[in-house]
């Protein structure tokens, strides 16, 4: 387990989600699936998201069993280790159907641990409301 504080992992998760939303917001599935750079960027941010989730403490995960922590880490493992087998339809469905709710839940959990302060990296002046 890394020695980083959990609030930095929450910030990593929210920033990865923000990037995924930004990269995919104006696209249809067809356009997304044909845009190699966007697919690569989205996959990379799912890797970051999954790695950050994996590094959250077990206490945080146990106290928030409503989130599919293992599924998220499993998806991260799939996009890293089986990059040639990433199903873009499942990725797209995750972006459009699952990510908004996950984002909302992460903001809620992070807010309960760190009200109005995720301790974002120096130079990033974002607040939770901006995610």
Is there a contact between 113 and 61 (Cβ–Cβ < 8 Å)? no
Take residue 48 and report the two structure tokens written for it. Answer: 């970051």
Q: Report the chain's terminal Cα–Cα distance, integer Å.
A: 26
Give the active site residue among 6, 76, 128, 131: 76
Whether 81 is a known active-site residue: answer yes
What is the phi-psi region of residue 20: left when phi exceeds 0, alpha when psi lies from -120 to 50, beta otherwise?
alpha
Is there a contact between 109 and 11 (Cβ–Cβ < 8 Å)? no
**If you search the block for the tokens 């989205």, which residue do you land on?**
42
Give the active site residue among 1, 81, 84, 116: 81
Closest CA to 12 of 129, 113, 110, 104: 110
Active site residues: 76, 81
């Amino acid at each position: 387990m890394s020695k980083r504080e959990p609030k930095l992992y929450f910030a990593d998760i929210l920033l990865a989600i923000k990037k995924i939303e930004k990269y995919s917001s104006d696209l249809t599935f067809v356009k997304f699936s044909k845009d190699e750079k966007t697919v690569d960027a989205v996959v990379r941010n799912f890797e970051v998201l999954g790695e950050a989730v994996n590094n959250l403490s077990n206490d945080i995960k146990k106290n928030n069993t409503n989130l599919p922590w293992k599924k998220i880490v499993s998806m991260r493992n799939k996009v890293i280790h089986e990059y040639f087998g990433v199903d873009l339809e499942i990725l797209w469905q995750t972006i459009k159907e699952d990510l908004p709710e996950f984002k909302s839940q992460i903001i809620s959990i992070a807010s309960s641990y760190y009200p109005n302060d995720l301790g974002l990296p120096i130079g990033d002046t974002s607040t939770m409301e901006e995610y």
